Structure 1
Amino acid sequence: MNKRTQDTRDHLLATGAAIMLGKGFAAVGLTEILSTAGVPKGSFYHYFESKEGYGVALLQRYFDDYLAEVDRLLANREFNGRAKLDAYFDAWQPHGEEGELATSRCLAVKLSGEVCDLSADMRTTLQRGMAQAVERLAAFILIGRADGSVPQGGDAGQLAAALYQLWLGAALASKVQHSTQPYAAARLATAALLDPRSN
């Protein structure tokens, strides 16, 4: 794939991601994506084999970018393990006005409930990306246990999965309620899971 083709493909993915964060996957047609991106109609299949294939590429691009950010936090030598965890969970929380909660900033949160029944390939991409996120979260926990900022405990992978699912649920509940309260509850539950002795 030459650079011009790759650039156009990336532009279509970025454009579609921005639209789908507001509308979801099924409600967005190819014509809207192409028109917004300024790409000629009829050229979509030059870049993607189908809308489903586009969705897979969209999610893969999202997770590549997301995991790269998490890896930068993982490599940060200024933070101990607990500080890395706090920074990770801070990034889940909205930082704008209350009304902005209607639009998720996370493509995985936005599409997970919708596309899993529509596309096995998109579901697999989501599953793989989320599993990779949980692996990073487990690494934060192990770093914290090694430096003493997180108490010793059970299996780090299981704890990481529970925390990820907790925050995924908080993000979905926040959208339903148009409130930051689910994030506050997730914070309290996270502290209890990381250090049950403090309860």
Structure 2
Amino acid sequence: MARENATRHKLICEGLEGLMAHGYEGVGIGPILASADVPKGSFYHFFKSKDDFVGAIIEHYAEIWDGRRKDIFADERLSSLERLDAYLAVLEGTIQEEHPAGGCLLGVLGQTISGRSAMLRAKLAEAYRSWENSIAGLLQEAEKAGELRAGVDPQMAAVELIDAYEGAIIRVKLNDDLEAFARFRKLAIAKLRRDRDEQVRSA
């Protein structure tokens, strides 16, 4: 059983790399099996179809980043917005390390499977909800601590932050412009942070 789990995990990791680099349409099962050194007939022992395989990859990817966010957002040495900026710094570092193949799996798939499997769309929607809710929870903490700019709705701000993040990724890839993400990060925090005038008025 442990060996089977290891093989399944290896296929998922190889599939994740393939999807990030080539998208849904550009990924073939054959090359992934070859990279993982797994016999072709074994694939259907682990996955019912390509969509089932991609669904497992989405779940794996979401679990990785859910865990990273939880670790960063739990760091009480930092204020809430400092934790958010630390998270964005990790994302920025990952993009720089993986460029030009890196990015966001959810965004990559979201642009290519809109007319395909309802199951995959549901898994993407679930991953986005988890992402949005975790950021919204952190922004609620920032609001309670008096860090958040007046009038900012934590849930809507979380959605807008993710939308802007996906847009920054497109600019990075389209223009080979790594500074696009740095600009996004700087502006995102500035738009959320309570300014000094607000602090004075509430004092």
TM-score normalized by the length of structure 2:
0.87
Select between 5-14 and 144-153 the one with higher mean Cα deviation.
Answer: 144-153
Distance 2:156 2:124 in 1: 19
Structure 2: where are the runs of 5+ without partners?
A: 198-203
Letter in 2 for 1:106: C
Equivalences for residues 25-64 of structure 1 within 5 A: 25-64=24-63
Question: How far apart are residue 150 of structure 1 and its match?
Answer: 2.7
Q: Secondary structure at the match of 1:125?
A: helix
Question: How far apart are residue 196 of structure 1 and its match?
Answer: 7.2
Equivalences for residues 43-192 of structure 1 within 5 A: 43-94=42-93, 101-192=99-190
Question: How far apart are residue 106 of structure 1 and its match?
Answer: 2.8
Distance 1:103 1:94 in 2: 13
Q: What is aligned with 1:9? A: 8
**Gap change, CA 1:93 and 1:37, over 3 Å in 2:** same
**Gap change, CA 1:160 and 1:179, over 3 Å in 2:** same
Distance 1:116 1:104 in 2: 21
Question: How far apart are residue 96 of structure 1 and its match?
Answer: 7.2
Q: Secondary structure at the match of 2:181?
A: helix
Distance 2:181 2:58 in 1: 24
Question: How far apart are residue 141 of structure 1 and its match?
Answer: 0.9
Structure 1: where are the runs of 5+ without partners?
A: none
Select between 62-71 and 151-160 the one with higher mean Cα deviation.
Answer: 151-160
Question: How far apart are residue 170 of structure 1 and its match?
Answer: 0.8
Letter in 2 for 1:107: L
**Gap change, CA 1:123 and 1:95, over 3 Å in 2:** closer
**Gap change, CA 1:79 and 1:97, over 3 Å in 2:** closer
Identity within the alignment, %: 26
Question: How far apart are residue 35 of structure 1 and its match?
Answer: 0.7
Question: How far apart are residue 176 of structure 1 and its match?
Answer: 0.9
User: Is residue 170–residue 183 contact of structure 1 (8 Å, CA) maintained in 2?
Assistant: yes
TM-score normalized by the length of structure 1:
0.88
Letter in 2 for 1:151: R
Question: How far apart are residue 97 of structure 1 and its match?
Answer: 6.1
How many residue pairs match? The answer is 197
Question: How far apart are residue 95 of structure 1 and its match?
Answer: 5.8
Q: What is the CA RMSD across the aligned residues, in angstroms?
A: 2.2
Question: How far apart are residue 197 of structure 1 and its match?
Answer: 5.2
Structure 1 stretches of at least 4 aligned residues deviating more than 4 Å after TM superposition? 94-98, 196-199
User: Is residue 81–residue 150 contact of structure 1 (8 Å, CA) maintained in 2?
Assistant: no
Select between 109-118 and 42-51 the one with higher mean Cα deviation.
Answer: 109-118
Distance 2:100 2:69 in 1: 25
Q: Write the deviation string for residues 51-103 of structure 1: whole angstroms up to 9, x where unpaired.
A: 000010110110011101101112212111011110121122246769x5321
